[in-house]
Amino acid sequence: MPEKTVKVFDGHNDTLTKIRHGGPNAQRSFLERSEKGHIDLPRAREGGLAGGFFAIFTSSPNYERVVDPLVGADGQTVPEAWSVPLPPKLDRRIATSWTLSVMSDLFRLEAESDGAISVVRTTAELRRCLSDGTFAVILHIEGAEAIDSKLEALDVFYEAGLRSLGPVWSRPTIFGHGVPFDFPRSPDTGPGLTAAGRRLVERCNKLGILIDLSHLNLKGFWDVSAISQAPLVATHACAWSLSQTPRNLTDEQLDAIGESGGLVGINYAVGFLRADGDGSGEFKTPLTEIVRHATYVADRIGVEHVALGSDFDGARIPEDLGDATGLPRLIKAFRDAGFAEQDIELIAFRNWLRVLDQTWRE
Ligand code: ZN
């Protein structure tokens, strides 16, 4: 009997940054098959990708050239030891304007898809998509620069469909501090949430917006953990014990996620998977590296706390995976490692349903 295709619901992609819908800089269309990047609708269908968290991310202008000390909340400069080549805070007007533009792109794409794509706002809608084959999109904002300290924009984004938010990307915001891309290094890279950051967590809980802990530093993580009533979730991260980048989660962080009933979406970025932290692509990274991290997290806190968070269209991923069409090879790697079919389904989409049921307000 041929092995059945397992549908995958994914914790993170940066595809929206690559498919400016109808815009002059669009690299490709989402509705037509391309060889570029990792996801479009035809390739998603071929690989069994049923949907995922679609991030809206605003780039820092001149990111490559900026080497500034971090400036914390209330204008304090973060101590020298924490100074790293991270971009400085991003101007809210730039982030708001970009975020609205990409959201509009997404809604136009949804309309043009004629029912093939749906931006989901409830788990009932997500379940319907998973059963009838509609490609499901969860709207996520990665780095909360587009949101003001009074959280007015948050309410409006929620009404528009926002259901997941990262308080920071790897740069400071008015809410907290992100970790640098560095190796080997602890995620304890600076201060925790600001007062506005704590209000943000409470408001997200109240509205039913998932708080993504990926990119947040260690103190910020513990602050969210102390305040939040929702399961703790890192949508796209790996195990720090296996690859010591501050973007990954320490054993203590994994334990807290497990105790909260939360979830880790295992990131496919080779730089977060490999024991040597090399993200250059110079060395081949086998698919089994993804399974290695998933196994580590499952062994430590239980398979019900493991999911997938590809970072498709945002990172260099193992060559053998290639793009969304390679997902059946990843599922096979899980089978080959001895994962039961039932556990593979938990990892592939069922754990997301459980956590979103507990996080969102219908
Ligand atoms: Zn990210």
How high is the pLDDT of residue 181? 84
Q: How far is the CA of 169 from the centre of ligand 1 (A)?
A: 7
Report which of 302, 355, 291, 292 is spatially closest to residue 329, judged by C-alpha positions: 291
pLDDT 10s digits, 42-93: 999 999 999 999 999 998 876 543 334 444 444 555 444 334 468 889 999 9
Q: How far is the CA of 278 from the centre of ligand 1 (A)?
A: 17
Q: How far is the CA of 3 from the centre of ligand 1 (A)?
A: 32
* Residue 62 φ/ψ region, left for φ over 0, alpha for ψ in the -120 to 50 degree band, beta for the rest: left
How high is the pLDDT of residue 21? 64
Contacts of 341 (CB under 8 A, 6+ apart): 335
How high is the pLDDT of residue 3? 72
79 DSSP 8-state letter: P
Per DSSP, which regions of the chain are E strands? 8-13, 49-56, 117-119, 135-142, 162-166, 210-211, 233-237, 263-266, 306-308
How high is the pLDDT of residue 203? 98
Q: How far is the CA of 245 from the centre of ligand 1 (A)?
A: 13
Q: How far is the CA of 4 from the centre of ligand 1 (A)?
A: 31
Give one DSSP letter per residue of 50-77, joined into a string: EEEEEEE-PPPTTGGG--B--B-GGGPB
15 DSSP 8-state letter: G
Sign of torsion over alpha carbons 246, 249, 251, 257 = positive
How high is the pLDDT of residue 81? 36
How high is the pLDDT of residue 65? 36
Q: How far is the CA of 89 from the centre of ligand 1 (A)?
A: 16
Query: Which pTM does this prediction carry?
Result: 0.93
Contact assessment for residue 237 and residue 217, using Cβ atoms and an 8 Å cutoff: no
Q: How far is the CA of 134 from the centre of ligand 1 (A)?
A: 25
The segments of the chain whose pLDDT lies below 50 read 64-74, 78-84
How high is the pLDDT of residue 11? 98
Backbone phi and psi for residue 351, each to the nearest 5 degrees, phi listed first: -65, -35
Q: How far is the CA of 1 from the centre of ligand 1 (A)?
A: 39
Q: How far is the CA of 119 from the centre of ligand 1 (A)?
A: 20
Q: How far is the CA of 349 from the centre of ligand 1 (A)?
A: 20
How high is the pLDDT of residue 66? 36
Q: How far is the CA of 214 from the centre of ligand 1 (A)?
A: 7
How high is the pLDDT of residue 70? 47
